[in-house]
Amino acid sequence: MPYISDEEYFSTPSEHGGYQYVSLADVVNNFMLMYVGDDKLIANGDRYNILFHAKRGIQELNYDAGKNIKVLELDVDDSISFILPPDYVNYARISMEVNGVLYTLTEDRVTNFARAYLKDANDEILYDSNGNALLGSSELDKKRILGHPRTVFNGNGWAAGRWGYYVDGFWYFTHNMGGYYGMNTENANINPTFRVDKEMGMIHFSSDMSGRKVVLEYISDGLENGDDTKVMINKLAEDYLYAYIMWCLVKNRLGVQEYIVRRYREEKSALLRNAKIRMSNLHSGRLLMALRGKDNWIK
């Protein structure tokens, strides 16, 4: 961001917080001005080549150090699934909203969601005009969508206030009283579960999520869906991106000695570590607050 007056900064909402970032266009321009020339190691370089490596460096930076977390709010329909955002890399947290309170959902690593081949009356697989097998919804998905949600038993007795399944006029409980020893603590949560299908680009939920609101916090690749004018990186990581571009250009050139390639690779790795430390926002006061109760007994 160029230098502007205080009046312009405070009166322009789009400029708020922008001084700590540098655009992708500025990174490419600065690299061509400062690192490419007759008296430089890179005598000449194409802009499209530098732009390609800059984008790859931003992707690596956002996942390893930047942790550019985006928040997306969605309503789950009857299919109890939704499509992943186009810039999705990995999820940070998925929560269910209930009366203004967010409840963290757990990932179900046991249940898989399958696809099934379409078959005719003779149990033969159906194909399209190109000879590809036709796919349809599986029985697993049907049971997941039509499954009975857990609810709280409002009656009296030993089951009062417990979560269970109400099916055909009868209550069913997954555990007896005192039967929680040796349970799978990974799924020891009364909240609904989800499963990420990366191949299909979908997030599937358990049946009790239908009609609820979900908040998805995910790590973005930082490329803003291909719009180069909106791609920004933190200035604390600017040196790393220059070193990453230089390393990529040097290692792909003929006649460059191996020790030069190794030197730029080590410089790139060192600057990445520095960027992680700088962008982690750790300081003594925050660590002190986190460690104040470490000696307290949990009763």
What mean pLDDT value characterizes the chain?
78
Which of these, 4, 34, 52, lies nearest to 245 by C-alpha position? 52
Greater confidence, 260 or 185?
Answer: 260
Q: Which two tokens stand for residue 18?
A: 């922008």
Spatial separation of the C-alpha atoms in residues 153 and 171, rounded to whole Å: 8
Please state which of the ranges 120-124, 178-182, 276-280, 287-291 shows the lowest mean pLDDT: 178-182
Q: Which two tokens stand for residue 269?
A: 């790795």
Answer yes or no: is pLDDT of 208 > 80.
Answer: no
Mean pLDDT of 216-224: 83
- CB distance 164 to 149 below 8 Å: no
- Where residue 138 falls among pLDDT bands split at 50, 70, 90? low
Contacts of 271 (CB under 8 A, 6+ apart): 239, 240, 243
Predicted confidence at residue 266, as pLDDT, reads 92
Please state which of the ranges 17-21, 86-90, 231-235 shows the lowest mean pLDDT: 17-21
Contacts of 193 (CB under 8 A, 6+ apart): 105, 106, 107, 108, 111, 187, 205, 206
Q: 176-188, pLDDT tens digit by residue?
A: 545 555 556 666 6
Mean pLDDT of 185-206: 78
Please state which of the ranges 103-107, 117-121, 150-154, 199-203 shows the lowest mean pLDDT: 150-154
Mean pLDDT of 54-70: 80
Q: 262-279, pLDDT tens digit by residue?
A: 998 999 899 888 888 887
Predicted confidence at residue 184, as pLDDT, reads 62
Spatial separation of the C-alpha atoms in residues 96 and 215, rounded to whole Å: 6
Predicted confidence at residue 278, as pLDDT, reads 80
Domain edges within the chain: 6-67+227-276, 70-147+191-220, 149-184
Answer yes or no: is pLDDT of 146 > 70.
Answer: no
3-state secondary structure of 291: helix
Q: Which two tokens stand for residue 96?
A: 């269910």
The percent of residues above 70 in pLDDT, for the chain, comes to 76
pTM of the predicted protein model? 0.63
- Where residue 149 falls among pLDDT bands split at 50, 70, 90? low
